[in-house]
Structure 1
Amino acid sequence: MRSTKRARIANQPDNPESARLEEHARSSKKQKTNASEPDPTIDEPGTDSDEDAIYFEQSQRLVTSTLNPRENEPADYGTIELIRLENFMCHSCLEMKFGPFMNFVVGQNGSGKSAVLTALTLCLGAKAAVTNRGGNIKSFIKEGEHMAAVEVHLRNRGDGFRKEVYGDTVIVQRTFNRDGVNSYKTKSKSGKTISTSKKELSDIIDYMSLQVDNPMTVLSQDLARQFLSNSSDEDKYKFFMKGVQLDDLYALYQNLKGQQSVIESVLESKDEDIRELEEDKEKAEKRFRMLKETENLRHNVRDLLLKLAWAQVADKEKLLDTIKNEIAGLEQAQLELQKTSEDVEKDIKTWDQKVEEAQAAVRSSSESNSPLNEKRKELEEKLNTEAEKLARVQQSERTADQQMKAIKARIDKAKRDAEAEKERLADAEGGKHASLLKEKEQLIEKKSQLSREQSELETSLETEATTVSSTTAKAHAAIDALKRKERDLQTAKETLQNLTSGHSNNLSVYGQNTQVLLKSIEKSKWKARMPIGPVGLLVKLKYQNWSSILEKQLSRVLSGFVAFSLEDKDQLMNLVHENGCDHSVFYSSPNSFRLKEPADGYLTIMRALEIENEDVRRTLVTTYNIEQTILVEDHVEARRTMEACPENVKGCYSLNRQRRGNGFSIRMGQGSGGVDPIIGHTGPSRIATNVEEQIRVAQENVNALEGDLSNEQSKYNVLRHAVEISKNKIQQYTTKKHTLRTDIQRIEDKLEELVGKLQQNNTETQLGKLESAIEVHEDSYKKYVGQQQDIANDKQRHIAMENELKSQIETLRSQINESESQTKVLQAAHSSAIQQRERAVLKQSELLQKLHQQKISISDREARMTEIEQGLPGMKKEAEEVGPRVNLRTKETAAEMESRLEQLNSQLEKRDARIGASTEQIAKDFADKTEKYNEAGKEREDLKNLHKALNRAFEERMERWFYFRKHISVQSRLQFHLLMSEREFDGKLVFDHTNGILQLKVQPTQQATDTQRNAKTLSGGEKSFSQICLLLALWEAMGSPFRCLDEFDVFMDAVNRGVSMGLIVYSQSFKEILSV
C-alpha cells in the first residue's frame, strides 16, 4: 500500500509542498550568508550558527526526500497485526486485525474503542496507572467475570526478534484475574508457548523499540484532551523530553557523574595513607643508616668454626656406619607392612559395597516421607479453619451469657417482690399460702437441679459419641493399614520364596518345562539358524532399582524366544505347544534398522540394559520401543519431562516412592489421562543379575515389614480398647438419662397441682401478677438456655472436630516419626557402614603413611648415606681450607662446639638488639616500607587517571547529549513549520532549554502584516491544528514502529479535522497508525 498524497507530490514538479521546502531551504541558506536578514522560522532564544547549519542541512534533506519519495513499504517488525480481548472492560470477546499503515477504530460513544488502546498498553508490559483508566489491573476485568485476557500479535519479519524461534509473528498474551494473579506468555506464530518470563517480553520490547509507556507513542483519550486543550509550555517541554527519551539519557549520564564523586573521596583517603607511609619509610631509613658491625665478636666465631669443621668430619664418619645398619632393619619392616596393607584394601572394597547399599535404602525411606508431610500440612490448614469457627461460636456464647444475666436479674427482682407479697399474704391467711409457696419453690429447685444434671449428661453423651466416632474412624484406618501391611508382608514372603526356589533352578523362572523346550530346540533342524532364548538370559540390567518395573513391562519378551525366519517361527510355536509351555515367539527380520534415540541426557530402557546380541536388541526395539522409552525416578519430574514433549520420546516409566517395586507408565506428554500404575514384578528376576543380592534385599524387606506389622497391630489394639470404654460410658449415661427424665416428669405433675391451688387462693392479687412476670422471664431465660445449649453443642462439635483433626495430625506425626525413625535406623546403619569403612580407610591410610614413611626413611638414609659418602671428601677438603686439622679434646664434640657457637651468636644478637634489630631485619623492614610507599603512590596516580578519564567521558557524552537535543529541536521546528504551512499558517517552535519551556507561535495567514501569536490566543480549531502539527513534528524524532491516537480531534471542526487527518496520513505513511 502506498500513500496517495505522497505519490501525488512526487509526480508533480510544481507541487506547493516542494516549493515551500525549496523556499525554506533558500531562506535558511540566505540566513547563513547574510546575518542581517534573520530567518523568520528560527527565532528561538540562544539560536547559534550550529543550529542554522543543522536547520539548513535538514531542510535540504527534507526537500530531497520529498522530491524523491521512497517505496511505501511496511516495517519488518514491531507493527501490530492483531489484538484479541476477552472479558476486558466492556468487551466479552473482541478480535481486531490491523494493517501495516493507517488503521481507524470507529464506533459510538461508550462502545469500547479506547479499551483497544488500553489493552495494547497493558499487554505490552505497562502498569495500570499509565492508562489513567484504572488503579490496578483487576479494575479492567469485565463486570461479573473472574478473569480477563489480552493478546497482541506483532509482525516479526526481516531481521525480527529470534526469528528462528518465533517465526513471522510474535504473540504476547497477558492474563489476569480478580485474585491478583497476573501472568505473561510469549508464543510463536504456531501458538507454541516460548516463555512465561516478563524478561523475555522486555527483551522483545527493547529490540522492537515498542515505547508503550511513552505518552507520544500511545496518546490516550485523557492525554489527548490535556495535550490539545490545557497543556502549558512547561508541559509541552516535558512531553517533548520524555517522548524523545532525552530524560532517560540525561539520568544515565548523571549516574556517571556520581561515580566521579566516589573516586574523589577515595583519593582524599589515599593522600592521608601516603603521608603515613612516607613517615614510616623515613624512620626505617634512619635505622638502616645507624647500623654498625661488631668485628671482635665475629673473630672468635671464626676460630670456633675451624674446630667445628673437623669435629663434623669425625661425626660424619661415625654416622655413616650407623645409617647402613638402620637401612637393613627398615627394609625388613617394609615387607611386613605391605602384606598388612593388601589385607586392609580387601576390607575397604567390602565396606564400599555395604555403604552404597545402605545409602540407597536411606534415600528410598526419606522419599516416602514427602506425601505424609503434605497431608499433615493440609490437616493443619483445616485445623486453623476450625479454630476460627470455634472463636466465632465462643463469641456468640459470651453474648448469650450477657443476655441471660440481664434476664436473671429481672427474675431475681420479681422474686424479691413476690417474697414480700407472700409475707403479706402469710400474715393475712394464717400461713397456709406460704406453706404452698414454699413447697412449690422446693419442687422448682429440685427440678432445676435435675435439669442441670440432664444437660450435663447430654453434653457428656455428645462428647463420648464424638470420641467413639473419631476413635472408630482411627481404628478403621488402623485396620486398613494393618491389612495393607499383611498383604505387603505376604507379597514380600512370596517374593523371597520365589527367589529362593528360582535360585536352585534358574530356567524355572522363565516358565514350566523350559529345560525340555531347550533340548527340543537343540535336536530340531531349522531353515535359517537355531532360535535363541529365553531372551532374559541374553540381557543384563545396569540399574537394580528398575528391576521390578522392567521385568513387568518386558515380561513377554524376557520369557520368549527369537526365530530368524517365518517358517522357523511356526515350527518353534508348535514345539512350545507340544512341550506344554507358554512362551512367546518373535521373528527377527534380517533387514537393517535405524534407531531414533533421544538426547544423551535421557536414560532409556535400552541404555539401562546391556544387550550384546543384535537380534535381541531388534526384538525389544520393535516390540516395546525401548530406545524411545525413558526412565525417570521422580514421578513429578517424569510428568514435567513428558509435558515438554522431548524429541524421540514416546513413553516414560517412573518409580512409586510409596510402594516399593511399583511405578507409573506415562504414555503422553500432557494431562493425567496418560498415566497408569505399574504393579512391579514380584517373582525371581528373569534378567541376568546377581540372584544372591536379590535374596538379601528381599529378606531385609520381609524383616522390616514384620516389624511394621507388629507396630500397626499394637496401634489397632489400643484404639479398639478405647472404643469399647467409650461405648460402655454411653450405655451408662443413657440409662441415667431415662431415670432423670422420669423424675422431672413427676416433679412437673406436682408443680401443676400446686399452681392450681395457689391460683385459687391468689385470684386478682398482686402475687399472681408477680408470679406471672416471673414465669414470663423464666420462659425467656429457658429460651436463652436452649440457645446456649445449641451454642454449647455447636462449640462441642467444633471442639470435637478440632480434636479429631489434632488426633489425625498426631497420627500423621506418629507415622512421620515412625518413618523418620526407620530412616534414622537406616541412617545409623549407613553411618555404621561409613564408620567401618572410614576405620578401614584410616587404617589403610596409616599403613600407607607408614609405608611411605618407611620408604622415605630408607630413601632418606640411602640419600644421606650417599650424600655422606660423596660429601665426606669434600668436607675434609673444606675443613682443610678453613685450617689444618686440629687435635680435639676427648669430650669436645661437634655438638658442644655448636653450643658454644650458639652462645657467641647469641651475644651477636644482643649486640644487634641494642641497635633495634638484626642487619637482615632492618634491611628487610626498610625495603618493605619503601615498596608499600611506592605502591600506594602508584595506586593514587591510577585513580587520578581514572577520574580524569571519567570526567572526559562525562563531558564528551553531555556535549553529544546537548548536540542531540539541539538536532532533535531543530528537526522538530522544521517539521512543525512545514506542517503548519498546510493551512498557510506560519508557525514555529520556540525552545527554552534553560527554563524547560516549549512555546508555539502561530501566524494564521501568510500576510506580512500579521503578527505571530501565542497558542493561547488562537481559536479552538487553530489551537487543535497547531497541537496536532506539534505532535507530528515530535513523532519524527521517535523510533517506535507504531503510533496510537485516541479522540485527538475532539476540539476540531470539520476543516481542521480533514487537514489534520491528511497530515497524519502523509507524514506518517511509513509507520503504523492506530486512530480511535
Structure 2
Amino acid sequence: AAQRVLREAQAQLEPKEQLYREEKALFDANTSEIAEQKSQERLIKADMNGNKANKKRLDDEIALEQARLAEAEGPEQVERMERLEELKQAAATAEQEELAHRAALPPLEANRKAAAAAAGAAKDPLESQSSELERAQGRLESLKREQQGQKFASFRPNMANLVRAIDSETRWRQKPVGPFGIYVRLLKPEWSSIIEKTFGGMLEAFAVTCKEDQVMLTAHMNRQKCQAPSFIANPGRFDISRNEPAAQYLTILRALEISNDLVRNTIIINQAPENTALCANGKEAFQLSQARLHGIKAVLAHGGERNTGVRYETTGSKAAKTSPIFAWEGKARMQTDYAAQLRSRQEDVSQLKTELETLRQALQTAERASVVAQHDVNRHQKTERSLRVAKQQAHDAVEEASNEIETSRPQDGKLQEFQRQLENAVADIEATAASFQDLIVEKDKLNDKAKALKQRVEEAQRESDSCVKMIEKAERRKGQLEAYRHTALRAKNEALNEIDAAKRNMQEFEDMRDRQQKVLEEDFISEAEKICRRMELEPGITAATLDKRLEKFIDDYKRAQAEAGGTMEQLTMAWRGAKKELRDILKEQQNTKRLSQSLKNSLTERKYRWRMFLRYIAYRARFTFSYLLSERRFRGRVLMSHEAKTLDISVEPDSTRRSDGGRKTQTLSGGEKSYSTICLLLSIWEAMGSPIRCLDEFDVFMDSVNRSTSMGMMIQAARRSVGRQFVLITPQSMGNVVLGEDVAIHRMSDPERGQTTLV
C-alpha cells in the first residue's frame, strides 16, 4: 500500500513540476525584458543629461566667441605677445643655468668619495694603535704588579702553586729548576719582544737531571693543573766559546744573563742562542746572514711595526730564507732592570699615546673633510632641484601664455558652427524626451504583466511543494515499513535456525545414546562376564537388602582405612611429602657444609693476612726507628712480640762500640731516653698512618743539642708525611731551631698572677 501511495504521489508531481517550469520561464523572460527596459532607461537619461550639458557648453562658447570678436584687435592682445617673448627668454636662461650647474656635480662627487675613503682608511690605523696602546699599558701594569710581589704573574696560571709544591717535595734527587724566565735576565730591553717570541714556551719550562725527577715533576704538574715543558739536562756548564761568532756581533746569548747552568745548557741545546745574531737594521741583518760567518746561523732584526721582527737565515742550498716575527702579546717573563724596563715601557706608552693622538687628529680632519664634501654635494643637489623647478615653472608660464593668446584669437565661421551645433543639441533633447516617455509606458505594462506571472509561479510552486511533501511522507512511511519487515524476517530466520539447531542436537544425543549402549554391551558387559558371570539374585532379595549390604561393605572399608592411617591416596601423598622434605634437608646440609668450609678458608686467609700485616707493621717500625736513630749516629732495635704483647727498645748511643746489642732505656741519659722515645713514637706514627699527630712537652728533659736535633728530625718527618698534620707543644722558645715556610708557630702569652683561663 505504501508503495502504491508513493507511486501515485510521484505521478502527480511530474505535471505540476512541468507547469511550474513553464510559468517560471515566462516570468524570467518578462523579468529580462524589464531589466532591458531599465537599462535603456538609464541610457536615455544619460543621453538626455549629456545633450543638456552640451547645450549649456555651446551657449557658453557662443557667448565667449561673441566677446572675443568684440576685443580681437585691442591693446590687450599686443601686451600678451610681448609677455610671451619675455617668458621664452626667461625659460631659455633657466635651462642654461641648470645645464651649467649640473656640469659642476662630478668633481664634487669625486671629492666626496675621496674624502669618505680617506676617513675610512684612517679608522683602521687608529683602532690598531688603540689596541697596541692597551697592550702596552697592560704590560706596564703587569710590570708594576710583578715588582709588588707577584713573581709568577707573567707565567701561566697556577705556576706559583707548582713552584711551592716543588719546594715542599723532599724526594728529589736534584730539585727541578724553573721556570726558566726567573733565571734569565735581559741586558738589552729593546730586544725583549723578539726574544720572548723566539723562545716561546721555553721560558716557562723546567729542567731536571734524571728521568725519575721528570716523572715526579709531571705528576706535580697534573696535580696543580699547570702543564709546562720539562727537559732532562746536564748540570755541568757547557763551553761554547769555539762555536760563538766574533765579539763585535751581538747574539741572543750575549744579550742575556743566565744565572743557572742547567737553564743555560737547556736553552743552548734547544734554541742555539749563541748562533743567533741581533742586528737593528734589516738591510745589515740580511747582508750578515748572507755572509755565512763562523758562529752565525741566523740573524734577527727589528721589523717595520713596533715590537715585531724579521728572521734572516740561509738554507743548506745557500738560498735566503726570511720569516716574520710577530709582536709578543703576553707579559714579560725574563728578568730585567726594573727601573730601565719601567722607563722603557713608560716611553712606549707615551710614544703610542702621541701617535694615537696624531692618528685621531688625522681621522678628525678626514671626517671633517668628508662632512664638508658631503655638504657641498647636498648643497649642489638642492640648488639643482631649485633650478629644475624654476625651469619647469618658466616653461609652464610660456605654455600658459601661448594658450591664452591662442584662446583669445578669433576664428572664421566658428560662431556659426557653434549656433548650428546648438540647434542640433536642442533637437536631440526633444527626441530623447519623447523616447523616454514611450519607454516609461512600456515599462508600466511589463510591470503589470510581471505581477500576474509572479502569482501564477507562486501558485505552481505551492502545488509542487505539496506534492514533494506527500512524496517525502510516503517515502518515510515506506522506510518504516521496510524496517519492520526486515526485523520480522530476521526474527523468523533466527527462529528457524534455532529449530534446526534443536533438531541437530536431538539427533546428536540419539546418536550418542546408541554409541553408549553399544559400548556398554560390547565392552563393559562382555568384559564383566569375562571376570565372572552375571550374578543371579536370590529370590526375595530387594534393593533395600542390597543397600544394607553395600553400607556394611563401606563401613568395613572405612575401618580398614582408619587402621592403616588414611586412604591410599593420602598415604601416597604423605610418602611423597616426606621424601621431598628429606631431599631438601640433605641439600641444605650440603650447602651448610660448603659454607662452613668457605668460612674456615676465609678465616685462615684473614689470620694469615693479619699475621703478615703485623709483621710488615713491625718491619716498618723497626726500619723507621733505626733510620731515625741514625740521624745522631745511634744504633738500636725495637723488641716487639705480638704473642706476648710486649714492646721494648734497645739503644746504643756509642757508635764506636762494635756490639749492637744496645742498652735498656733505664741505662740511658735523660736526653738519650727522650730522643729514643721520640724516634720510637715517630716510627709507630709512620706505621699507624694517623692523619693528626700531637706531642706535648717532648723536649723537657733534653739539652739544646738533643732538642735541636729532635725538632729538626720531627720537622723533616712532618714534611715527608704528605697529608699529615703535626702539633708539637713545648715550653721552650724554639729560637735555636731552623724553621721553614711550612711551619707555623703559635705562641701563648705569659700567664699572669691570678689568671684562670688560657689566652
Shared fold (TM-score, shorter chain, > 0.5): no
Please say which structure displays the higher CA radius of gyration: 2
State the TM-score, normalized to the length of structure 2. 0.38
Structure with larger RCO (C-alpha < 8 A, sep 6+): 1
State the TM-score, normalized to the length of structure 1. 0.27
